[in-house]
Amino acid sequence: MRRTRGSAVLMEEGRVALIKRIKDDEVYYVFPGGGTEDGETPEEAVVREAWEELGIVITAGKCIAQVEFNGPQYFFFSEIVSGVFGSGEGEEFYSSGRGSYEPIWVPLDELPKLDVKPKELVRKILADK
Q: Which pLDDT score, from 0 to 100, does residue 24 have?
A: 87
pTM score, whole prediction = 0.91
pLDDT by 10s per residue, the chain, length 129: 789 999 999 999 999 999 999 988 899 999 999 999 999 999 999 999 999 999 999 999 999 999 998 899 999 999 999 999 999 887 665 555 667 889 999 999 999 999 999 999 999 999 986
CA distances from 53 to 23, 26, 119 (A): 17, 20, 21
Q: Which pLDDT score, from 0 to 100, does residue 96 have?
A: 53
Q: Which pLDDT score, from 0 to 100, does residue 23 have?
A: 87
Half-sphere exposure (CA, 13 Å, Cβ side) for 88? 26
Task: Kindly report the number of other CB atoms within 10 A of residue 23's CB atom.
Answer: 12
Q: Match domain 5-107 to its CATH number in 3.90.79.10, 3.40.220.10, 3.20.190.10, 3.40.50.20.
A: 3.90.79.10
